[in-house]
Amino acid sequence: MHHFSYKNGILHAEDVSLEEIAKKVGTPFYCYSTATLERHYTVFKQVFDGIDTLICYAMKANSNQAVLKTLANLGSGADVVSEGELRRALLAGIPPEKIVFSGVGKTSFELKAALDAGILCINVESEPELHNLSRIASEMGKEAHVSFRINPDVDAKTHDKIATGKSENKFGIPLKDAERVYAEAARLPGVKPTGIDMHIGSQITDLQPFDNAFSRLGALIRSLREQGHAIDHVDLGGGLGIPYKHDNLPPPDPQNYAKVVRHHVESLDCRVIFEPGRLIAGNAGILVGEVIYVKQGEAKTFIIGNVGMNDLIRPTLYEAHHDVLCIEEKKSDAEWITADLVGPVCETGDYIAQDRSMPLMKSGDLFAVLSAGAYGAVQSNTYNTRPLVAEVIVKNNVYEIIRPHMSVDCIINIDNIPKWL
């Protein structure tokens, strides 16, 4: 569920007209709904009532400070994957004891920053990382609380580029090596294994992969405890999918996901950590753009907008579907066409929707790309020297710009021309 709907023929974010925001802010812009962010977080948390849980929002989905602060106020922690995300989380008021640090390529500088901040746990993903962390922590006179991310070799049945739990993926330590690595960590100075971590992928719409992975994880935890390891928390990652198409069957309900979790981990007497990102932010955001031209090609019709692949790369990168709505609600007798909604970037792959049935639009019409709250603004870039677009957040009947439009001068002025030129 989200809080974007038509009121008096105009698409609104909660009680704010997107047409009015467009007039004042300019297009394109991302718009996030506070009510949707809060609802998604709360619904997910409530299905685990009675279990000691910590939700560490996966910041890579959307790391705007306003989004983070909204979730921090609800008690959320953070899953970070870089020193930059760590700093963002701390600045947004997320306590260090609610932060976990994931990722396969943590640098020595990032590991030091995590230890300095005193975060809850570092999710170690390789033996070289373990030894590097042991050295750094020992030199700093600190003890790093760690969990190991285990790769269970489970097919999440999702897009290849967002699958993380198969043996050919770069993430985690192979399940067959887990007991040996925990034994090695127990001998090393400066590190203390306190938990175990698993994340098998993103946009998962079938509960069976979770069932398979959690079953293997539960068996491993019992074996590790028999060997004397104190496992006090289990991090189950995120990955639960969201609806991107209005006419598709919905992905699993969080309540049904919770039943799978409870079946495998409730008896383990562990604190359970989750790392949802897309689930919370995905349908809480849209991207509003404007039609520049309508071009009749020889083979198809192109609606050319000012939203490009640099603003939202998911359709190009993942062949992802995003529903598109006109900001002004079309009448029942409006003409519908099959067209490609494309952008101005100089690439054939620059599109938002292909062969999509949509109302015929004209120059100046506004449209909204739905389900753009996750992996939208965070993956945007300045290709073709196109500035990053604005971000706006709405709460009830008010809105605020939370990232202004970048200027072209800002992009150009980053460059430095050598003196010999």
Catalytic residues: 346
Count the neighbouring beta carbons within 10 Å of the beta carbon of residue 413. 9
Residue 64 burial (C-beta neighbours within 10 Å; 0-12, 13-18, 19+): buried
φ/ψ (deg, to 5) at 88: -60, -45
CA distance 22 to 39: 25
Q: Which amino acid is at 276?
A: P
CA distance 3 to 330: 19
Burial 127-151 (b: 16+ CB within 10 A, else e): eebbebbbbbbeeeeeebbbbbbbb
Burial 152-165 (b: 16+ CB within 10 A, else e): bbbbbebeeebbbb
The sheet with strand 16-17 has its strands ordered as: 4-7, 10-13, 16-17
Helices (H), 126-177: 127-140
